[in-house]
Structure 1
């Protein structure tokens, strides 16, 4: 089995469903081109039947992207699939993403239906989609809470009908990583024609486990991860693209790889944040403002002796600015000396011993000690030393 992990980006579809993150056509096109440059394999550009604006955006993106497969979402409804196919028609590489809920919660409450009826509808929507493209992805919505034996029947049937990718969404973010991994493994071991399709992980973050579940999924045999920049998405969000990419890169012993240009991750994060008007939390992994900041004295001392004591990723690897030594009341002498040196002051150990209590006085009155504060301390010390 090839160990390439396909990155399916749904920032423009699932990410756009975040309240306040609606994109216009121009913004969608700009981000689509950036995402292709980043190296995503499949770009879910939108849900064409949802609005004329979304249809137009998907249609324009389909014209422009040359390397990335352009994907359009649809329900298991013939009209949805026809409209998605029309929107995607100009694409050099196109995929229709269609499907239906498979958990008993969806079957009974949402559809007021039966398992057998849903199975037939699943097969039918794939057959409709295959009329327009040989790249069809089927999603079994709420697969995370779907009975494994029934899910295996659905997966086998949609692959037989022509699905080339089968999406196993943990739609409500319910699964624990071992449960999600076991679900993927169950399908690989119990669906006779599974070798004819790629299994895909689409995990939500309701319990903060989206990234962990996606990694558990690929370890168990899935080969596609559906994700968004900054983890944007419905409710608590989707799997974060930057997190799974860097986990795969850091844990090379797993044997996986992606085609993502990691050095573009931070610039891409900022672009999405600005365009979608959604700030990135400072402690966000990989792309947060504090991801490479050190403020504890013990951490700062270790970091200054060897960066790998407290950083497993160099900021340059992901296109971030250099690591930051943040001065607070928790900082020690080595960090203070380092920051003075960066400002051009060559103080010896005795100087730092004298300056350190003065620094703490300032630090106890402020959340962070800045360069201008250090300059004042340095100048007053030099005056006293004359």
Structure 2
């Protein structure tokens, strides 16, 4: 049986939403370098910035537009003509371009932020998507705070945007309010209640306030979305966004489940993560999935024993597949004799199982007082073992 694989697009907003991380401020030259690496990694769309926000943001979008040859470049625009005009000018040199227009649709945003009625918001969607369509073949519309918007009204907003010329509808979980079950159901609802659902690409933009951004995005793919917005290393406002490197790894490992294809060059994942970590001056947590320092490390004796017998016992993804160099097993107080014996033999010692009866108790005594046991520690342990032996 031939399985038809669904094509999923990656939309990276590290340069826009990622830069909204507190303390992060990319220079124009850094943005160009990041954009080139994102293109090398294989993203389909790069949101290069918010051109109306500042002269520097405008210049950055313009610089990225000139530098990138294959990925589509987009600028963000509120539902305002002047914002759209700024995107037109900033992306004029892009080989491939689109515009990203948004307006909030939830009751709390309509009433407290916009001071607009439902009808006024709908009219704004129609007017500004129509205006943007004069300049861009590809127009993306995002109903901000979609997951806290009344479902019938959200469907009306999406349909209005499509009728006005939007080719992409991005469902934004702006404050990380949703969960995978509800988010999937929301896409099901929109498929059933937006008459022109199939005339647009549906996308998803999730925030991680409750730690479910990546899970929500993946669930959306199972329910009709074919584009995921996110950032590298999960950068972004407050708790951050969907971590695109996690999405790419999930698609790779669980192709049987997701049955999707993408353009991601997975081996460039670590290089991409490292570059953004360096320029953002934000360290990647050691236990971060896929790209964290400990993502492919094993200290537990049971895990180390299984790993040494067959790496697949405790690794569903090889470090090489995402561009990570294999490091030696860390040795600590939870390590077992198998891992210690393996390490000593790799250091040039000839250690037998009987030898380990002497070496292992000495190792445990040292490990109880050290976070990790180094090669120098092991040499001292071997000296002690010989004395006692």
TM range (shorter): over 0.9
- Please, which runs of 5 or more residues in structure 2 have no aligned partner? none
Distance in 1 separating the partners of 2:167 and 2:50: 20
Point out the more displaced range, 372-381 or 327-336.
372-381
Number of residue pairs matched by the alignment: 385
TM-score by length of 2: 0.97
- SS of the residue corresponding to residue 6 of structure 2 reads coil
1:330 and 2:334 matched: yes
Query: 1:274 is matched with which residue: 278, 291, 305?
Result: 278
Measured against aligned partners, the alpha-carbon deviations of 1:74-133 in whole angstroms (never above 9, x if no partner) come to 100110100111000111111100010011111111111111110110111111111111
What's the CA shift for 1:2?
Answer: 6.5
Quote the Cα distance in structure 2 between the aligned partners of 1:353 and 1:129.
Answer: 75
Q: Could you tell me whether the CA contact under 8 Å between 2:362 and 2:385 is conserved in 1?
A: no
Which one of 79, 96, 101 corresponds to residue 99 of structure 2? 96
2:376 is aligned, of 335, 349, 372, to: 372
| Residue 349 (1) aligns with residue 363 (2) | no
Q: Is the 8 A contact 1:7 1:225 kept in 2?
A: yes
SS of the equivalent of 2:261 reads coil
After superposition, give the CA deviation of every residue in 1:209-243 in whole Å (9 maximum; x if it has no partner).
00000001000010000010000000000000110
Runs (4+) off by over 4 Å: 382-385
SS in 2 for 1:294: coil
Within 5 Å, give how 1:1-386 maps onto structure 2: 3-253=6-256, 254-382=258-386
Gap regions ≥5 residues in structure 1: none
- SS at 1:61 equivalent: helix
TM-score by length of 1: 0.98
Indicate the SS of the match to 1:44: strand
> Deviation of residue 325 (structure 1)?
1.5
Which stretch of the first structure deviates more once superposed, 250-259 or 52-61? 250-259
Further displaced range: 329-338 or 284-293: 329-338
- Residues 270-290 of structure 1 deviation map (CA, whole Å, 9 limit, x = unaligned): 110001101101000000000
- Indicate the SS of the match to 1:293: coil
Q: CA deviation at 1:65?
A: 1.0
- Structure 1 stretch 20-29 or stretch 370-379: which is displaced more? 370-379
